[in-house]
Amino acid sequence: MGLFIHIHLIAAIAWIGGSIFMFVLGVTLLDKEKQKQVYPHIGPIFGYFELVALLILLISGTVMVVNDGLLQALFSDSDNIIVQTLRKKLFIVAIIVVATIIHFYIAFRTNGKERTKMQNIISRGSSLLIFFLNLFVLHYAIVIRSML
Ligand code: HEM
């Protein structure tokens, strides 16, 4: 087992653990006044924490793909089941990255301010999407590992 899978796993724990914690906070902290007290403080810290975790995942994942000689296989017409599953995982990761950029853009522009209804819908929708897609990424990562 290499160094990068260890780094990748720690970052995955931080990234997914963080999103599960925020999901729990979102469904339990319903009082608007308490939300106004908590989110402006916790939001930026959580944001940077998650950003670092995602960057580490992307970098360590890319290093492993290159080191394992999978880069060419990914862009070939290979129908190897591991390559196919990795493609599915990376496709979902790409959606997560786009949803994260949208979520961060709104979060940083509106932190501590009143949000419009549309900003609220997009912000909550993207975080819910990231939360559920993470579970699929985790599933595919486990499937890949079990086939190696
Ligand atoms: C949201 C982003 C990601 C999450 C949550 C994630 C999660 C994981 C997890 C949990 C494992 C370990 C699976 C196991 O040991 O059972 C893993 C392995 C791996 N990931 Fe990721 N990953 C992410 C992004 C990426 C990206 C962007 C790449 C490549 C560009 C990548 C490539 C890999 C590779 C090559 C392995 C090693 C396969 C193995 O040896 O098991 N991952 N990932």
Question: Model confidence over 79-133: pLDDT tens digits?
Answer: 899 999 999 999 999 999 999 999 999 988 887 778 899 998 999 899 999 999 9
CA-nearest residue for atom 25, ligand 1, is: 61
Cβ atoms of 147 and 81 within 8 Å: the answer is yes
Pocket test for ligand 1, best of 4, 8, 130 (most atoms within 8 A of CB): 8
pLDDT at 107: 87
- Protein residue whose Cα sits closest to atom 1 of ligand 1: 93
The pLDDT of residue 66 is 95
Record the pTM: 0.91
Give rounded-to-5 percent helix, strand, coil for the chain: 85, 0, 15
